[in-house]
Structure 1
């Protein structure tokens, strides 16, 4: 399985509009972060987790030519705002796009994209097939996907485990029942927003503590704010086996 980080930034992205801090002014490509998303290629199929505001640019930059499904972690705008840009895939592939999400996620999509779900279909609108999921494992074209329930302050969010790869974003609490689902994972992706405390995201120290508790062979942090600091400086001080992800990073997962 090939995993590509399409975006590793927080809800505002990095650089932040009008910000002149050292991170936003950095020339290091690893400090340029689209909104958080990840792409999988497995068994000949292509799918993404979340379609944020940068979805179009992410597809173009990664040269993704086909897309078979979308998994949504939760309903916040920085994870759903790019859904309209699936239209080229509808046109090329001549089929509806399978969209997997919990009931609250699907209901939010139906509100925000009312024109997609209207009984009167305007020509050229996105074509989707919403598939409701819960906390139980499900299959997509023979690929087993295990939801990992976490909390984003008080909002339920799903991470996903596929084989030995686990992906969690927008969390500040992982219950013990979910940690059991993560046992034995070789690669863990976990959100780490910034150094300072935050009401709904793990800080760097909290993310390190979680990563060491879970014990994956490799852990990559994502959903990173400009307040985290420069990529090269932060990563140089991380424990062994823990890294900052960056846009465009590719991993091969056995």
Structure 2
């Protein structure tokens, strides 16, 4: 079946424009250089899923007209990926039962700690978010045991390396979303073959200890050979037009609000 992926945000943890910065990208009039914190919406079969809920989620949801969310998949527990969880509250009232949040153990523990007023029975009240964390099942801390089946589609958690930490990417149908990563472990490569769309981290021009940079991300595209690739989690090093001018045609920079269609199953 056909699905639509919308980039809710394509920026770094500091966002672009970055506060206090007067560089050419931060002061650019090109709307594609305005990058909120990274997240995507996936819509199919009259359902809406999110990957991450960053601190800009409220504004992103209004901008894209999101009026329903049926599940959220989390990549990791950093602030720019989870702090919008509480904005799910009114949307959680619209689903039957509790809104499922999928996360690995470390991410789940972070969400439960930060939003303890949501998860501790003694602190809950009538307007608390109606959410339920469902923990991803690991196999020897490297490969996840099973896909997540959601509304007629399969989502495969993909282990990634993020500096000294591990994060989770996701493969769904012919697309994969790999944000916040500095490397792809060998055990994950088999799950990233035959892609139509590959979305991956490309923080800046120069190397970074916990993120892939432009040249390294191009190398991942050449390794995995998707039909199309889109870079996200970009900082103010990367001007949209100037960077795309040096990229091959099948590799583009994502931007907030960009929509892609693909097959999901």
Does the pair score TM above 0.5?
Answer: yes
Shift of 1:94: 5.5
Tell whether 2:159 aligns with 1:143.
Answer: no
Does the 8 A contact of 2:72 with 2:102 survive in 1?
yes
Q: What aligned pairs does 1:48-59 form with structure 2 within 5 A after superposition?
A: 48-59=50-61
Q: Give the Cα–Cα distance (whole angstroms) in 2 for the partners of residues 175 and 110 of structure 1.
A: 28
* 3-state SS in 1 of match to 2:204: coil
Match of 1:196 in 2: 206
Tell whether 2:251 aligns with 1:242.
Answer: yes
After alignment, is 127-136 or 144-153 more displaced?
Answer: 127-136
Shift of 1:142: 2.4
Which of the residues 75, 78, 81 maps onto 1:76?
Answer: 78
Q: Give the Cα–Cα distance (whole angstroms) in 1 for the partners of residues 177 and 152 of structure 2.
A: 19
* 3-state SS in 2 of match to 1:170: coil
What is the TM-score when the length of structure 2 is the normalising length?
Answer: 0.93
Match of 1:21 in 2: 23
Match of 2:170 in 1: 160
* 3-state SS in 1 of match to 2:94: helix
Q: What aligned pairs does 1:171-210 form with structure 2 within 5 A after superposition?
A: 171-210=181-220
Match of 1:32 in 2: 34
What is the TM-score when the length of structure 1 is the normalising length?
Answer: 0.97
Q: Give the Cα–Cα distance (whole angstroms) in 2 for the partners of residues 238 and 208 of structure 1.
A: 9
Cα shift readout 1:103-126 (whole Å, capped 9, x = no counterpart): 111111111111001112223121
Tell whether 2:107 aligns with 1:100.
Answer: no
Q: Give the Cα–Cα distance (whole angstroms) in 1 for the partners of residues 96 and 172 of structure 2.
A: 27
Match of 1:89 in 2: 91
* 3-state SS in 1 of match to 2:16: coil
Which of the residues 222, 232, 237 maps onto 1:212?
Answer: 222
Shift of 1:40: 0.3
Q: Give the Cα–Cα distance (whole angstroms) in 1 for the partners of residues 113 and 78 of structure 2.
A: 13
Shift of 1:155: 0.9
Tell whether 2:255 aligns with 1:226.
Answer: no
Q: Give the Cα–Cα distance (whole angstroms) in 2 for the partners of residues 170 and 212 of structure 1.
A: 19
Shift of 1:140: 1.4
Structure 1, unpaired ranges of 5+? none
Does the 8 A contact of 2:10 with 2:37 survive in 1?
yes
Shift of 1:249: 0.2
Match of 2:140 in 1: none
Which of the residues 64, 83, 88 maps onto 1:62?
Answer: 64
Equivalenced residue count is: 253
Aligned Cα RMSD in Å? 1.0
Q: Give the Cα–Cα distance (whole angstroms) in 2 for the partners of residues 160 and 75 of structure 1.
A: 15
After alignment, is 7-16 or 129-138 more displaced?
Answer: 129-138
Cα shift readout 1:79-112 (whole Å, capped 9, x = no counterpart): 0000000011123336421100011111111111
Does the 8 A contact of 2:93 with 2:130 survive in 1?
no
